[in-house]
Structure 1
Amino acid sequence: MRAEIATSTVDGNAAAGLLWDVFEADVTALIAVCGGCHEGAPVAEAVVEIDDTAAIVRCRACTHTLFTVLRHEGGVRLVIGTLHEIVRP
């Protein structure tokens, strides 16, 4: 999905369903640390561009793409961008 065709821009909670399909758990409370600016924040606070098949999860501080979740016929995949680490508080 290209950002210019995203259905909407929302917070990380909107990606909870797609992320559940990957991790089989609610990961929105986990802290995502950006490899670009090194800021950390809960996944729920990330900026998400989303449509029916994908979610681009961006750092709220610098807008780098942390990761992308893609739904396809074979299942769901997670493509890592500038995500440095995920921390459980």
Structure 2
Amino acid sequence: MKDDISTPNSTRAIAHWRIILAAILDFLTAFFVIGYSVARVSGDTTDDGFKLNGMPALVMFALIVAYFWIGRKYLGGTLWQRLLKAR
């Protein structure tokens, strides 16, 4: 019997470097984009970027968790997982 790799039910192993790189890039992207967005709304922007304390920081971390959860559960992967085909 011959194993056919091109069958739809076969799974290909994903390189670990892609998974790790996607996780790092996703966190950095989410941190800076969501962090800056929350800082803009809350008025915590500075000349160097943003500085969050208290409730805006908690909102930022909650949105980062939501980004990963929604991306993984409902969208088939986060931004970088999809770009790097790490999912």
Please, what TM-score do these two structures have when normalized by structure 2? 0.25
Please, what TM-score do these two structures have when normalized by structure 1? 0.25
Rg: which structure is higher?
2
Higher helix fraction: Structure 1 or Structure 2?
A: 2
